[in-house]
Structure 1
Amino acid sequence: MIEVNDLHKSFGDAHILKGITTSFEKGKTNLIIGQSGSGKTVFLKCLLGLFDYEKGTISYDGKIISDLSPDAKRDLRAKIGMVFQGSALFDSMTIAENVMFPLRMFTKQSLSEMEDRVNVVLNRVNLPDAHKKMPSEASGGMQKRVAIARAIVNNPKYLFCDEPNSGLDPKTAIVIDNLIQEITDEFSITTVINSHDMNSVMEIGEKIVFLKNGFKEWEGSKETIFRTDNKAVTDFVYSSELFKKVRRMYQEENQ
């Protein structure tokens, strides 16, 4: 579990995060949503330890990040998998080499051990024959699956995804959502997803944290978001036509 208590972050005079307190549960897909400028990207980077913050605490399974030694922080980093918005694959490496990269960085495994592990995770994301391809030869959906394979190759306890459906068509986006959900369940990972995609919210939003102007405006699940009267939430989600349709269906079923 990741726990956040009274988190504040500023850049100069701009107060970006304003006392956020929440938690992200093990074995669940936890989504951070909000409009552009709500603070969700800064929040994610604070969670990852990329940004320092002025006040508050972030703890991983009871261990406060700011209290950790450099070695302990490195150990924690080895337990974190990251799927970047643009996949962030290395153009000069094959897909297999991209997936192997965290193993080379964080483990002392032999080459054959690393190759075996790469085979396992590429099979898991349904890319059994992609090893020798270059990223430029892969579609957007394939690149996302490679990014997921790389993120889980080191058996992480925590998985972070920054807009994993960005640039994908709706059908492929659902495939990626389902894959992230399956991996979270299968390996009991604490998964945190930064998203603006209401389809993802309705597909896999087991825990949802909604930010507005740097505040935690609301939190709940994909079931409770249909019942909330919070105007900030409804104003945001009503921008999705699919959400409107599903909410009407939900309300009709529960009358």
Structure 2
Amino acid sequence: MIQVENVHKSFGDAHVLKGITTQFEQGKTNLVIGQSGSGKTVFLKCLLGLFEPEQGTITYNGQVYSELTINQRRDLRQEMGMVFQGSALFDSMTVEGNVMFPLEMFTKQTKAEMKDRVDFVLERVNLVDAHQKFPSEISGGMKKRVAIARAIVMNPKYLFCDEPNSGLDPKTAILIDNLIQEITKEYNITTVINTHDMNSVMEIGEKIIFLKNGFKEWEGTNKEIFKTDNEAVTNFVYSSELFKKVRQMYIEERN
């Protein structure tokens, strides 16, 4: 679990995060949504320890980040997996090399042990025949799965995903959503996902927080978001005709 208490973050005169308080539960897919400029990316970087808030605390399973030593922070970061928006694979490395990279950097495992772990996670993301392919030789959806495999190869307690469905077709995006949710539950990970994808909200939004202008404007589940009367949320969620129809269905069911 990650607990966030009254977090503020500024850059010069720009007050980006304004007193955010929430918690992200273990074993659930926690989504952060909001318009561009709402503070989502800065918030995610605070959760990753890349930015440190001027005020407030972020606590990871009882460990208050601001109270940790440098060595303790390093150990905590090794318990975090990250799926970047553009996958961020090394073009000069094979799929196997990309996934093995964190093990080579941060563990003292033998080559055989690392190979066994890489084989395991690649099989888990349904990439059993791609070990020796390079990123340029695989599809966008496969790249995302490689990125997920790399993110979980160290068996993290926390998984962070930045727009994991960016650039994917709808069918592939659903497959990636389902894969992230399955892994979250299977390994009991605390997963936090930054997304603009309302399909992700509908499918895997077990906990959602909506940011607006640096404030936490709303939080709830994917079922509750279609019933809220919060105008800022409804304007964001129902910006397309499809989701307006979905909301109307919920309203009719309530009546």
TM range (shorter): over 0.9
Q: In structure 1, give the amino acid aligned to 2:17.
A: L
Question: What is the aligned partner in structure 2 of residue 167 from structure 1?
Answer: 167
Question: What is the aligned partner in structure 2 of residue 217 from structure 1?
Answer: 217
Aligned to 1:166, what secondary structure does the other structure show? coil
Aligned to 1:168, what secondary structure does the other structure show? coil
Q: 8 Å contact 1:4–1:23 — kept in the other structure?
A: yes
Question: What is the aligned partner in structure 2 of residue 188 from structure 1?
Answer: 188
Shift of 1:115: 0.3
Shift of 1:94: 0.4
Q: In structure 2, give the amino acid aligned to 1:113.
A: E
Q: Normalization by structure 1: what TM-score? A: 0.98
Provide, for residues 183-225 of structure 1, a one-character-per-residue CA deviation record: whole Å limited to 9, x for no partner.
Answer: 0111110000000111100010000000000000000000100
Aligned to 1:27, what secondary structure does the other structure show? coil
Q: In structure 1, give the amino acid aligned to 2:185.
A: D
Aligned pair 1:51/2:56, yes or no? no
Q: In structure 2, give the amino acid aligned to 1:45.
A: K
Partners in 2 of 1:141 and 1:35 — Cα distance?
Answer: 25
Question: What is the aligned partner in structure 2 of residue 178 from structure 1?
Answer: 178
Question: What is the aligned partner in structure 1 of residue 15 from structure 2?
Answer: 15
Question: What is the aligned partner in structure 2 of residue 242 from structure 1?
Answer: 242
Q: In structure 2, give the amino acid aligned to 1:218.
A: W
Q: In structure 1, give the amino acid aligned to 2:179.
A: L
Aligned pair 1:106/2:99, yes or no? no
Question: What is the aligned partner in structure 2 of residue 32 from structure 1?
Answer: 32
Q: 8 Å contact 1:199–1:242 — kept in the other structure?
A: no
Q: Normalization by structure 2: what TM-score? A: 0.98
Partners in 1 of 2:3 and 2:40 — Cα distance?
Answer: 16
Partners in 1 of 2:236 and 2:186 — Cα distance?
Answer: 32
Provide, for residues 45-99 of structure 1, a one-character-per-residue CA deviation record: whole Å limited to 9, x for no partner.
Answer: 0110111221000010111111111111111111100000000000010000000
Q: Any stretches of 5+ residues in structure 2 without a counterpart?
A: none
Q: 8 Å contact 1:198–1:240 — kept in the other structure?
A: no
Sequence identity, in percent? 77
Aligned to 1:192, what secondary structure does the other structure show? strand
Partners in 1 of 2:240 and 2:200 — Cα distance?
Answer: 11
Shift of 1:104: 1.1
**Number of positions where the alignment pairs a residue of Structure 1 with one of Structure 2:** 255
Shift of 1:254: 3.2
Q: In structure 1, give the amino acid aligned to 2:197.
A: D
Aligned to 2:121, what secondary structure does the other structure show? helix
Question: What is the aligned partner in structure 2 of residue 124 from structure 1?
Answer: 124
Q: Any stretches of 5+ residues in structure 1 without a counterpart?
A: none
The 5 A counterparts of 1:201-216 are: 201-216=201-216
Q: In structure 1, give the amino acid aligned to 2:151.
A: A
